[in-house]
Structure 1
Amino acid sequence: MHPAPSIIAFTVFSGIGFGLLTVLGFGKPDVSGFTAFVFFFIAYLFAVGGLISSTFHLGNPRRALKAFSQWKSSWLSREGCLSVAALMVMGVYAIGVVFLNTRWTLLGLLGSGLCLATVFATSMIYAQIKTVPRWSNWTTPVLFLLYAITGGAFMAGQTSIAAPMLLVLGAFQCATWIIGDKQFAASGSTIESATGLGHMGKVRMFEAPHSSKNYLMKEMVHVVGRKHALTLRIIGVLFLSLFPYLLLVMPPFYHLISLVALLLHIIGALTLRWLFFAEAEHTVGLYYGKR
């Protein structure tokens, strides 16, 4: 699929923001006052900024509020409702930590749960799409949650958590590719099943369905060459996981080094999130001879 910059920014930065709020809800780091205010401000900046960016790829952003009304059937709507609930609960929790030097533990845990539920709902927007077999499996929600928790721990300065999580995230990202690369073939979708002509024998495309590009070809049949995809995978994992891990564990440790490691992690996350969308093979591509 053709990835819009806004949807990449949304899924990466909102995930990190809600991940940071999750860690803060568990009482990490143990700070209060102005220091805690800075952490919460950054978390809300990432979470809310990411959510706002998600409206940029809507056909009519003015109708974004209507998305909240379909929570019974739409994961997009559930994401919106959960995100508002999470931000409100964590806002009250932040008031206690910042201004009253008090931690309402149960409220923090509730807020953390809502933050993780928000990230899960975001992942299910894509995992529910049966016509994109690469996404439609259990690895998608796990991957989104790992990105959020790792990024959140990183942003919170919890090196003891972030360092091993970086390796777990990198390993699971590789496992996701191994599993995902087999999903389209395993789904059984072919040009024969797409056209309904399989009973007549082998089907091949005689002529393109359209004489010029249309919406489907632009948005749903985006193709990344295998050579380029492999290069981006290697670069992405190195920036996402290995390089930041080495910077965190190799002495001496400085805050500037930690900042560089965080920036590398974010660059890797943006790269691989672009690849997450660009590599997704929609079954409509069968009609255009793209499989």
Structure 2
Amino acid sequence: MKLAPAFLSRAGWHVDEAAQLEALEGVLLQVWAEGCRPWPDIPLSQAAFVASLATHTPSPSVRTGIAGVFAQLTPGDLYLACACAGGIPAALAAFERRYIASIPATLGHMKLTESVLDDVRQQVREHLLVRTNRPPRISEYSGRSPLANWLRVVSVRTALSMLRTAREEDATGDEAILESLPASVGDPETEAIQRRYEGEFRQAMEDAFAALSSKPRYLLRLHFVDRLSTTKIGALFNVNQSTASRWLQSAQQDVHDETRRLLKERLDLSSQDFTSVLRSVESQLDLSLSRILTEA
């Protein structure tokens, strides 16, 4: 028995019973075998693999038990990531072939130029594989979801960050997103109200969008800027389509509610006048958010 003691020393678990130690040893041997099976040409040591596994494995609960802790693991992906973190050439070459080369297909919906795709690939390589004063970021991969999904999220974030940086050369941050208001719907009364309170509406929507936390802001960008369906957004976050749809609806509703609240707080109007203003802007909130984010 050698894997269990090495694992326990890293994981910080307390397992004293001989039966539990034997069970843990058996599970670790199985995970090791499953991990190296897809990569027979990548010479990763058991010690390195077990150390990585221990870093990312939570302590077992009474309900899950030792075996349950490893139930959601993808051993082959963790093996490759661990070998890449160790700088093993065969692993880096395999990661390049299987994952880096697939980035253009992953980002196909974004309609990026080849030069931009090259920059994305290079930034992903540097972000995940280059060792600086800390271990490569790929060592943070836990193996709890497929490596392809994890890399997809990293690639999309990298591409969006690059696009955002390019936009900021001509505009300042998220304020540029809220520069434009939607075209009027043609009703003279609505147009008059929108013209009169255009500045207040723009400021309220800007503040409402800025008040969002990073996750809903990211969801809205994925949906309105990158035209990702809720099915694809769900795949990025490893959740089903209904969950992604619920997240997106919640983010939109938060912007809507905060915009209404700020308008009511800031406009010194009678109840009747405010109702007219609110009716005018409410009919435009979804269109406003869509157009604002798309035109950013």
**Could you tell me the TM-score, scaled by structure 1's length?**
0.30
Which structure has the greater CA radius of gyration?
2
TM-score, structure 2 as length reference = 0.30
Higher RCO structure (Cα 8 Å, ≥6 apart): 1
